[in-house]
Structure 1
Amino acid sequence: MAQQQKVLAGEQQQLSQLQAQPQASDADLWRAVRAGDAGYTVAPGAESGRLINAVGQEGRLIRDQYVIPTLGAMLVGVFALFLLFYLINGPARLTKGFSGKMVRRWSSADMLLHWLMAISCLLLMITGLIIAWGRHALEGWMSADVWAGLIYGSKTLHDWTGPVFIVSWALCILKWMPLQMFKRYDFNWFMTAGGYVHFGPFKGKHPESGFANAGEKLWFWTLALFGLFISVTGVMLVLPDLVITRENSFVALIIHGFSAAILIGFTIVHIWMATALSEGGLESMVSGYCDENWAIQHHNIWYDEIKADGSLEYKTGT
């Protein structure tokens, strides 16, 4: 009964508004609707009186025509530049070769957190790229049924992987933050390109570095900042009831996409640096140990510290 009275009261209010206003043509009415003008309905919600969200429509066009192609070009460009650099420069070889002595660098907990975050992050990136660019790059190459299954599966996997990434990301940031503070000697690491360039004035340079070098610290703080952005906006997009207006949803989508592009770009660099560009670099995050000559060449300050305080630990049997 109360609901019926509410509906009748709403209809009466709408009728009174129409009677009080000059009569408009159908063209004027739909022009106002397309412009996003608000009217009155009995439906609850912050935007219940708006049939069309004009800002959201304009934003969708901007995203599809400008944002997505620009970000796609950026990501392809980063990968292409590092591939070209690798082909010209080659990897950073160990000056004294492998010593055969393995030094403890990461704990089992560190490796578990790293790979949990890394795998969830890569799944989010792959499924996110399918969601964002699949319609432009993949849909035309497969049947409607295959495309429907791919996009549905990508969206489902993306939504359920998100919480895993958020938790592992937060734990990694809290656990590793004390090791990621910039020091005065980090400036020289940037000035000498980290010792990875083998030609010109940079050839033969091996800058000082602590547990994390300056490039790793830059990656860490980029991950901390844009990981926060992508986590918050991801929750907003998965749980739209938390968002007051559709304009906020669109802003969240743009921030989410931009942050994802930044993280994908840095991830490409991180993977290149840890694998192809650094001889022996990947071993530490696979076994928890690094070669002693690798530690001395790339992280000499950290090596001197653990040697001085007695925490230097060799892998048994080597």
Structure 2
Amino acid sequence: MRWMASAVAASMTVVLVGAGAQPAVAEAPDSVVTGRIVDDLGGPVKGMKVRLDPEGSASPIDLVTSATGEFRTDAAVPGQYTLAAEESFDYWDLTPVKYTWLGPVAVTVHAGSTSLGTFTVARGGTLRATVMTPTGHRLPEYLVYADGAAGPLSGNRDAFTDQRGILTLRGLPVGSVPLAGTKDWSPRLPTVKFPPVRISQPGGVVRGVKLVTKVHWSTFLRDRGYVKDGVPLAGPGEARFGVRIGNTYGKDAEFDLWRDKPLRLSLYRDGKRIKNLYVKLGKSKIYTLGKQPKGEHTYKWIWGGDADTFRIASKPLKITVR
């Protein structure tokens, strides 16, 4: 009897526990938002970033379209949103940009299921161009961007030239696209405006364009006669001075194509060229010239002078040769 009582008690305990447990039920989301993106030919757009940005201070919801061009989220609450879509890209990314962009478009999310419908993005145009100086010197790693043709998520379409100075700029909208160029995105560097390029149709390709720019320089110039107490430190028949070319981005800014190569400077004495000097950018160098005529002379060095650059020169330096 005692064994039977224990068994009944155990059975009652199990039954009571089972009766008190409730099955887990997943809560339904407030809203399920769906939509689809296709191109101008009606084909699905795969892998495009879609952003639902709610009114107020809430964080945006980022999605990616599927192979069928569809996107879906159950993270949105009912309310007003702006929708934008664009391919993720970077100017060093080798993945071609195929499309333009969408939005921003105002949309409303309702409680329950909300279908935003189908949106269309145009295939992007492509520019193939050569960036060069007026004398035909091609510029590698030069940044060109579509000024004003800016998507809502990634900004201006931009690309660097390759080592041959060839530019391939993709994802351009139909119409006249203004172009601008610079050596890098630094705000201290000058920007060059190029003539606009016209994309006549979605997916159109423009070839054979030449974008011509000058090489901009801003220089820090220093030369000294190395005179102490009125006496030149150079020996008899010698003229001694220092030369430096440096980067001063605070003025007009500059970029150079020859950063790793010495610049050839032409040295003038009393207005006549007498020698070539070789100075590496950012490095100081002291020159001692022998066999100079006695007396006071004006020395000056000049670099450049062709159509590619702004001509730069040192201040005249008066040296007394003993």
Fold conserved between structures, TM > 0.5: no
Compare CA radii of gyration and give the structure with the larger one: 2
TM-score normalized by the length of structure 1: 0.21
- Which structure carries more helix by proportion? 1
- Which structure carries more strand by proportion? 2
TM-score normalized by the length of structure 2: 0.21
Higher RCO, 1 vs 2 (CA within 8 Å, ≥6 residues apart)? 1
